[in-house]
Amino acid sequence: MPLRQSRQPDDAYVVEIGFHDLGVTKADLEIRLGYEAGRAPEPFGGMIDEVLAEAPGRLGIQAGYRLVPLSRPADKRDGLLIGGPFFRTGTIVAGEFARADEAAVFACTIGPSLETWASDLTGDGEPALGFVVDSAASEFAERTAAVLHDGVAAFMRERGRGVTNRYSPGYCTWDVGEQRTLFSLLPDGFCGIRLTESALMVPVKSVSGIIGTGKSVERRDYRCDRCGVEECVWRAVRTKKKSETTDKRG
């Protein structure tokens, strides 16, 4: 379905995403914690139930994007021109956007409440529950980005355009330091997110990046087999999820 969104100046869009749009289940959080779906032992099963009951009242989801021109210079195959500035994304990311002529520069967050809750629990002598809360917050943030992505895709389909997968500074060999330049393309204070001196986002449970669009663009799975960054956490997460999907089909 198209996103519930409102258009802002300069082709920016603010998007409405609620907790139930995320579709996060107990099984999802069990898997996030390293257990098989339906097999989390106590007290973790009860902790997950508590977090899911509390989450709707604690999440402060904000999400949106801005559409800007995108191109890949013929003489610089390791990056992209996005809304004017040149981003040295690396050849893998740049190649995924070869057919795109526009980018949705996006940002989203679930707010600081769960992060604060997790910290308070740990400080109050409940580190296990704090860990579950923090893990759940990561799942909510990742799912928020996925819902936003699907909504952008639906909106683009109405305009006869496709979308790429989404990429963020820190993916593959794209330097996270370019986060500052990326945020310069968004309105000030967009989605209530700010950057630290080291270009990390606050609230921490936030996601930003780009989605390419174009009339001949297709969305493909991430091609982690082409990336040489062995310590990449995203490779580990996606490999695990792919394995779980394969096991279910088998």
Q: Can you tell me the distance from the alpha carbon of 104 to that of 78, in angstroms, rounded to the nearest whole number? A: 20
Q: Are 142 and 71 in contact (CB under 8 A)?
A: no
Q: Which pLDDT belongs to residue 77?
A: 87
Widest pairwise Cα distance in the chain:
58
Distance between terminal CA atoms of the chain? 30
Q: Can you tell me the distance from the alpha carbon of 79 to that of 224, in angstroms, rounded to the nearest whole number? A: 18
Domain segments of the chain as ranges: 4-219, 225-250
Q: Which pLDDT belongs to residue 210?
A: 98
pLDDT digit string (tens) for the chain, length 250 residues: 567 899 999 999 999 999 999 999 999 999 999 999 999 999 999 999 999 999 999 999 999 999 999 999 988 889 999 999 999 999 999 999 999 999 999 999 999 999 999 999 999 999 999 999 999 999 999 999 999 999 999 999 999 999 999 999 998 789 999 999 999 999 999 999 999 999 999 999 999 999 999 999 988 776 554 555 544 544 444 545 445 544 544 4
What does the block give as tokens for 49? 């139930």
Element (H, E) at 102: strand 102-109
Provide CB contacts within 8 A for 242, sequence distance 6+.
Answer: none
Q: Which pLDDT belongs to residue 2?
A: 67
User: Where does 4-219 sit in CATH, by number?
Assistant: 3.40.109.40
pLDDT tens digits along 110-154: 999 999 999 999 999 999 999 999 999 999 999 999 999 999 999
Q: Are 104 and 67 in contact (CB under 8 A)?
A: yes
Element (H, E) at 53: helix 44-58
